[in-house]
């Protein structure tokens, strides 16, 4: 078995090294590439040389000192952790919670900023109200967004029910922003318990817990509203149950229940991640049961999985109309599923493209995981390369990681937000192996000077990350996505906007996307059209579709010829909207010129306003003459136009009062 373990760890180290250090994606033309590769590699080299060079110099300067100040601190901390593990676990979890809450407020303004976050908060509020869905508005084109379904009179989000259900707990107290920080802190506590069971060396278990809980990747993600963090404590709970099952000669039913319940609830949040960790665990438990008997744990695990999964399938039945039909495949079509096929955005997802994405994920982990000057995967790679024996749990984690990577290799979407977010389930494994680098080096190179050099490298790396890299990343996040942080409720109160219909001026292209949805063009087809069509030609065809009352396939048939010139398109120089495409040599019609002038005056986003809480204000997408439908539906409301006063990034929108008679007159005279 030792020979097998050594071959396995060497293979894993080689695999991570290849994807984490080689710009494979840049060697393959036509797909996603590693941006600024030379700068990235140069930064790794200079950062490593800086830290390593300083460590060598300090080692030489202190070679005559028998003991360094604080040299015994790691051993004392390890003994303290071994003596009071629960106290340490709670203490680290509380510190993590305070950090995560601060990040949520100070860095992300306690706001959901990505469409995934916004729509899941929206669904969480629906759940908190006691419903599974809302009625579809009379004119949905004014209120729709890309991740919401309007199906059979029901409005609901595309995401599995578990993630919004977790956020609903925050909705009940009017603070969805606290859910992820609490889940992150609970994850730290569960990870500490897991580390004590699977890692016999207290110092390594403590180091792994600190690396896991305070890794910038985990910390920043725990300040968001993303479901990667709400799924994480349940995955770890399942792993904890498995570790307990592995201990005894006959697995106990309660440990099997813990395993099943954790994996089952995780499956209601992120099914793909849960499957990757549940399948190897279930297979191990099945083999163990068949070999040694004691069916209680296996049955209990099955029950633990069955109940939450059954609840998720019931919600699917009530919303999409079929237990096995998830919202995202219902909304985007079969192209959304894993596999090598045409993606919902219209490009083919191939094994080569999947490899390029994995390469990008590992390259990003090098920076985002620990924000260190030395590539972050280096310690884990080194520990794997130096390790001779694996525990059963180590083999389980490696098998689950392989299955997770295989799944995302076959998944078309580039999961990048606050780092390579699809790789969040790998952080426990990487924390364990990164913490093991110290004893691995001590065992292989037992000299005092080698140990002292490594200690200086660790201190220098941590110091540069803490005082240089992490603050830079925090500023980057704090200064980004400013439009999505705008407090519409407070602004409406300040402006005296009450009992109002507010028409939100989005970009011209965003308006056309909503109009395509309104005539029955699928989300995936609308994505393909707006990304690959001249904006003015698309406006002309859409106007014809609306005049003739065409819908669905008939509308798509008229739009399809616009894609023939997609390879010749450029970004329009006449607007700040980067999605606006122009076919060189084409001319703008009077209507198109009017829309460009509006873009030049400033536009904003309707998406975050679906979460506005001021109930006497209705925020609807501005669709020009089509707005007459809303004026007729809400005859007694004052009307405002919402847009920023300029096209400057970050300029706050303003409420501009409108007269109904002036609007009707302008629409009659519009080109």
Looking at residue 281, its pLDDT comes to 95
For 494-551, write each residue's pLDDT tens digit: 999 999 999 999 999 999 999 999 999 999 999 999 999 999 999 999 999 999 999 9
Alpha-carbon gap, residue 488 to 61, rounded angstroms:
59
Looking at residue 663, its pLDDT comes to 78
441 CB neighbour count, 10 Å cutoff: 18
Q: What residue has token string 């490593």?
A: 48
| CA 407 and chain centroid, separation | 16
Lowest-confidence region among 27-36, 126-135, 660-669: 660-669
Alpha-carbon gap, residue 15 to 162, rounded angstroms:
33
For 104-131, write each residue's pLDDT tens digit: 999 999 999 999 999 999 999 999 999 9
Alpha-carbon gap, residue 216 to 213, rounded angstroms:
9
The answer to whether the beta carbons of residues 269 and 304 sit under 8 Å apart is no
Which tokens sit at 81?
């952790």
For 305-361, write each residue's pLDDT tens digit: 999 999 999 999 999 999 999 999 999 988 889 999 999 888 899 999 999 999 999
Dihedral-angle region of residue 174 (phi above 0 means left; psi in -120 to 50 means alpha; beta otherwise): left
SS3 sequence of 584-606: CCCCCCHHHHHHHHHHHHCCCCC
The answer to whether the beta carbons of residues 241 and 498 sit under 8 Å apart is no
Looking at residue 68, its pLDDT comes to 76
> 669: pLDDT confidence band, cut at 50, 70 and 90?
low
Q: What residue has token string 């399942």?
A: 238
- CA-to-CA separations, 539 to 48, 346, 350, 523, 590, in angstroms, rounded: 53, 20, 33, 17, 11
Residue 298 pLDDT greater than 60, yes or no: yes
| Short-list 74, 77, 95, 97, CA closest to 85 | 77
646 CB neighbour count, 10 Å cutoff: 10
Looking at residue 290, its pLDDT comes to 85
Looking at residue 326, its pLDDT comes to 95
The mean pLDDT of 59-73, rounded to a whole number, is 81
What are the residue boundaries of the structural domains of the chain, listed by start?
2-477, 483-505+602-671, 508-600
- Which residue has better confidence, 626 or 67? 626
Alpha-carbon gap, residue 633 to 61, rounded angstroms:
80
For 392-429, write each residue's pLDDT tens digit: 999 999 999 999 999 999 999 999 999 999 999 999 99
φ, ψ dihedrals at 622, nearest 5°: -75, 120
List the 134-135 sheet strands across, edge first: 134-135, 154-157, 148-151
Which tokens sit at 509?
């292209």
Alpha-carbon gap, residue 222 to 228, rounded angstroms:
9
Which tokens sit at 629?
């439908």
Alpha-carbon gap, residue 157 to 319, rounded angstroms:
9
- pTM across the whole model: 0.94
Looking at residue 185, its pLDDT comes to 98
| CA 461 and chain centroid, separation | 27
Q: Give the up-direction half-sphere exposure of residue 528: CA atoms within 13 A in the CB hemisphere.
A: 21
- CA-to-CA separations, 406 to 4, 87, 89, in angstroms, rounded: 22, 38, 33
């Amino acid at each position: 078995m030792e020979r097998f373990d050594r071959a396995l760890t060497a293979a894993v180290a080689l695999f991570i090294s290849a994807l984490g250090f080689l710009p494979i994606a840049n060697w393959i033309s036509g797909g996603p590439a590693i941006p600024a590769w030379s700068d990235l590699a140069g930064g790794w080299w200079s950062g490593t040389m800086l830290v390593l060079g300083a460590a060598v110099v300090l080692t030489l300067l202190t070679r005559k000192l028998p003991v360094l100040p604080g040299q015994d601190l790691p051993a004392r901390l390890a003994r303290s952790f071994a003596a009071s593990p629960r106290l340490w676990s709670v203490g680290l979890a509380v510190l993590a919670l305070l950090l995560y809450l601060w990040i949520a407020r100070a860095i992300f303004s306690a706001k959901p900023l990505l469409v995934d976050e916004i729509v899941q908060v929206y669904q969480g509020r629906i759940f908190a109200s006691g419903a599974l869905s809302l009625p579809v508005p009379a004119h949905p084109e004014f209120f729709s967004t890309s991740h919401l379904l309007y199906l059979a009179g029901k409005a609901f989000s595309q995401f599995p029910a578990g993630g919004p259900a977790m956020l609903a707990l925050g909705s009940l107290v009017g603070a969805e922003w606290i859910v992820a920080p609490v889940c992150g802190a609970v994850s730290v506590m569960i990870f500490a318990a897991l580390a004590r069971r699977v890692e016999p060396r207290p110092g390594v278990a403590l180091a792994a817990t600190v690396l896991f809980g305070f890794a910038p990747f985990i910390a920043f993600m725990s300040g968001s509203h993303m479901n990667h963090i709400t799924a994480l404590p349940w995955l770890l709970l399942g792993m904890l149950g498995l570790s307990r099952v592995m201990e005894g000669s006959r697995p106990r039913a309660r440990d099997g229940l813990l395993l099943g319940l954790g994996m089952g609830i995780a499956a209601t949040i992120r099914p793909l991640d849960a499957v990757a960790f549940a399948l190897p665990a279930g297979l191990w438990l099945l083999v163990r049961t068949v070999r040694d008997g004691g069916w209680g744990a296996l049955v209990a695990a099955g029950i633990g999985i069955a109940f939450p999964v059954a609840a998720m399938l019931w919600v699917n039945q009530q919303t999409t109309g079929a237990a096995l039909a998830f919202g995202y495949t219902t909304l985007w079509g079969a192209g959304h599923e894993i596999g090598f096929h045409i993606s919902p955005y219209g490009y083919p997802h191939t094994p080569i493209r999947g490899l390029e994405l994995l390469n990008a994920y590992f390259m990003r982990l090098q920076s985002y995981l620990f924000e260190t000057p030395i590539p972050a995967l280096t310690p884990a790679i080194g520990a794997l390369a130096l390790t001779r024996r694996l525990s059963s749990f180590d083999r389980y984690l490696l098998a689950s990681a392989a299955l997770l990577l295989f799944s995302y290799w076959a998944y078309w979407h580039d999961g990048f937000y606050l780092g390579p977010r699809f790789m969040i389930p790998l952080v426990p494994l990487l924390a364990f192996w990164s913490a093991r680098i110290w004893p691995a080096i001590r065992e292989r190179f037992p000299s005092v000077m080698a140990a002292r050099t490594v200690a200086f490298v660790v201190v220098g790396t941590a110091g540069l990350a803490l005082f240089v890299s992490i603050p830079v990343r925090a500023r980057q996040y704090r200064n980004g996505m400013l439009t999505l942080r705008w407090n519409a409720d407070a602004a409406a109160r300040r402006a005296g906007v009450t009992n109002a219909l507010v028409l939100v001026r989005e970009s011209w292209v965003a308006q056309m996307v909503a109009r395509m949805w309104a005539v029955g063009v699928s989300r995936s087809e609308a994505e393909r059209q707006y990304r690959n069509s001249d904006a003015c030609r698309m406006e002309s065809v859409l106007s014809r579709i609306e005049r003739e009352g065409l819908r669905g396939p008939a509308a798509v048939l008229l739009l399809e010829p616009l894609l023939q010139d997609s390879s010749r398109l450029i970004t329009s120089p006449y607007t700040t909207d980067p999605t606006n495409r122009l076919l060189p040599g084409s001319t703008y019609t009077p209507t198109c010129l009017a829309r460009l002038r509006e873009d030049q005056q400033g536009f904003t986003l309707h998406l975050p306003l679906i979460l506005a809480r001021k109930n006497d204000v209705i925020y609807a997408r501005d669709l020009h003459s089509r707005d007459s439908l809303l004026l007729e539906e809400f005859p007694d409301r004052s009307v405002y136009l919402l847009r920023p006063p300029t096209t400057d990034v970050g300029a706050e929108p303003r409420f501009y009062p409108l007269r109904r008679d002036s609007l009707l007159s302008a629409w009659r005279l519009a080109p």
